[in-house]
């Protein structure tokens, strides 16, 4: 029987009806009109109803991928930075509204499971999946099982500390990898350079308009030889590359899957991560390692969440 997958972001809720093979039968997307827990639940219910109506089939369960740290047994979102939530019982709230079992997982766990079952991870039983988008996330599949840890937060690559006491992260802690290499924070650091007037190339690329800055803007300025931009960019790239290389050393995956909007639109950054793995992961851990690009695009989390619910 098909299941329902939900991808909860900071701006939209997406829902899809997915069959057992990972095929999307129908999907719907609804903007979050408000970010209160009750309001978001209603938005998810609207998206779910639309997807089920378009698919014309019944579903037997629901999986939700959310950018949050989640208690695996309760479905409580302990920290959801994009929504400004702490300790929200999303799983219970959705179960009450949908009248079906609901499994809530981290969005990267959902994406990893989607790639494992229906994308770039097919045929491998040990995967490391790293996405760099608005934040930095990773998930681990070991011996064909999703590794979630005692509290459900295993694989939180974005929240390892790279500068103790450093920049404040959206999670509220200091010095996280995400605070230096996540998309939102790359933009924030680039805007700081623009405001300080320390990067002539950024002024040229943006016309002085901070609103047009993307992570790719920083990469372009750095590669054009702008010293200030290069310092910020090179630091982020090295932190990210070393972190991924260390995970490869620790986990010894058969496959490393890279994805997310920042790595897609910043090809040099992606290349630096790949080079870093080859340079800094232990030799034995990278023997036979295949580095692949995520195949399912924006649907990886939807598909994975639905298949986890199954």
Assess contact for 119 and 131: CB atoms under 8 A: no
Which residue segments constitute the domains of the chain, with CATH numbers given? 3-115+298-309 (3.30.420.40), 123-294 (3.30.420.40)
Are 136 and 259 in contact, with CB atoms under 8 Å apart?
A: no
- The sheet with strand 76-80 has its strands ordered as 69-71, 76-80, 85-88
pLDDT digits (tens, 9 = 90+) for 109-142: 999 999 999 999 999 999 999 999 989 999 999 9
DSSP β-bridge partners for residue 128:
140, 256
Q: Which residues contact 292 (CB under 8 A, 6 or more apart)?
A: 120, 121, 255, 256, 257, 258
User: What are the tokens at 277?
Assistant: 């793995």
Task: Print pLDDT tens along the chain (310 aa).
Answer: 899 999 998 889 999 999 999 999 999 999 998 889 999 999 999 999 999 999 999 999 999 999 888 987 888 999 888 888 999 999 999 999 999 999 999 999 999 999 999 999 999 999 999 999 989 999 999 999 999 888 888 998 999 999 999 999 988 899 999 999 999 999 999 999 999 999 999 999 999 999 999 999 999 999 999 999 999 999 999 999 999 999 999 999 999 999 999 999 999 999 999 999 999 999 999 999 999 999 998 899 999 999 999 8
């Amino acid at each position: 029987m098909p299941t329902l997958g939900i991808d909860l972001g900071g701006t939209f809720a997406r829902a899809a009806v997915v069959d057992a093979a990972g095929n999307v039968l129908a999907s719907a997307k609804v903007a979050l009109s408000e970010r209160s827990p009750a309001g978001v639940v209603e938005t998810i219910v609207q998206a779910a109803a639309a997807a089920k109506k378009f698919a014309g089939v019944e579903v037997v369960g629901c999986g939700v991928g959310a950018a949050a740290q989640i208690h695996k047994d309760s479905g409580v979102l302990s920290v959801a930075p994009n929504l400004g939530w702490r300790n929200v019982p999303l799983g219970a709230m959705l179960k009450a509204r949908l009248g079906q079992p609901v499994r809530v997982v981290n969005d990267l766990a959902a994406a990893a499971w989607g790639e494992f079952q229906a994308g770039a991870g097919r045929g491998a039983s040990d995967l490391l999946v790293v996405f760099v988008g608005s934040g930095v996330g990773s998930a681990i599949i070991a011996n064909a099982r999703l590794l979630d840890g005692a509290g459900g937060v295993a694989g939180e690559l974005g929240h390892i500390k790279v500068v103790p006491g450093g920049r404040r992260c959206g999670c509220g802690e200091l010095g996280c990898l995400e605070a230096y290499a996540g998309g939102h924070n790359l933009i924030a650091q680039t805007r700081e350079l623009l405001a300080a007037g320390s990067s002539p190339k950024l002024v040229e690329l943006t016309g002085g308009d901070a609103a047009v800055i993307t992570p790719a803007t920083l990469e372009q300025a750095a590669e054009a030889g702008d010293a200030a931009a290069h310092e910020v960019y090179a630091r982020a790239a090295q932190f990210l590359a070393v972190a991924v290389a260390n995970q490869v050393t620790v986990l010894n995956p058969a496959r490393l899957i890279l994805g997310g909007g920042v790595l897609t639109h910043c090809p040099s950054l992606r290349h630096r991560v790949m080079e870093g793995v080859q340079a800094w992961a232990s030799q034995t851990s990278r023997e036979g390692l295949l580095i692949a690009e995520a195949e399912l695009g924006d649907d990886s989390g939807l598909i994975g969440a639905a298949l986890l619910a199954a």
